[in-house]
Amino acid sequence: MERISWHQYFMAQSHLLALRSTCSRLMVGATIVRDKRIIAGGYNGAISGGVHCIDEGCYVIDDHCVRTIHAEVNAILQCAKFGVATEGAEIYVTHFPCLNCCKALIQAGIKKVYFAANYKNHPYAEELFGQAGVEFEQVELEEMILDVNNKEKLRFTAELLSHLESLGLEQSELKRLSDTANKLYTSS
């Protein structure tokens, strides 16, 4: 059995954390890692005990939901709350950090930011990362690795398409089905 890479392991953790998000506009998860060990995780949501977006809607000012604490900040605050140093750590985030999170990550001493999806990437955030010597890299989650039956599903789909071809299905219909299958297996 082939094990998943460290990048995929930590990015999958961030996507799992995002499922706890209470913001209905965008679900974000973040995992802080040091020496290949998870030291904290966070997701975007309201303050502890506060009103959640999923309950009363987002509180939007200047196109930003101000009700939520962003995933990256929640992860940093978790470290602060429990006395865990963030200096020299790395973070895996489902989306490129906003400008404020970028500054918080720099001040927390995070040395590398891995993100799965581009999301309103601000050029100034990239500039600040550069000034601070913080590397950032896109590492998309390969969702198929989370499906323990993915190889069998791919094989079955290929066999099914081959069988339909041998039965004389029109090439245009066969291409349509093949394209649909490819989109299902490669969408993110």
Question: The tokens 């996507």 sit on which residue?
Answer: 15
DSSP secondary structure, 66-133, as one string: SSPBPHHHHHHHHHHHTT---TT-EEEEEEPPPHHHHHHHHHTT--EEEEEE--S--HHHHHHHHHHT
CB 17 within 8 A of CB 71: yes
pLDDT tens digits for the chain (188 residues)?
A: 678 999 999 999 999 999 999 998 999 999 999 999 999 999 999 999 999 999 999 999 988 889 999 999 999 999 999 999 999 999 999 999 999 999 999 999 999 999 999 999 999 999 999 999 999 999 998 876 665 566 677 777 787 888 788 888 888 888 888 888 777 766 54
Question: The tokens 């290929």 sit on which residue?
Answer: 158
CB environment 30-69: b (16+ within 10 A), e (fewer): bbbbbeeeebbbbbbbbeeeeebbeeeebeeeeeebebbb
Per-residue model confidence (pLDDT) at position 188: 43
pTM over 0.95: no
Positions marked catalytic = 72
- Residue 63 CA to residue 88 CA, distance in Å, equals 33
Task: Please state, as a whole number, how many other Cβ atoms lie within 10 Å of the Cβ of residue 29.
Answer: 28
| Residue 54: its H or E element | helix 53-56
- Residue 61 CA to residue 27 CA, distance in Å, equals 18
Order of strands across the sheet that contains 135-138? 37-43, 29-34, 90-95, 112-117, 135-138
Per-residue model confidence (pLDDT) at position 148: 53
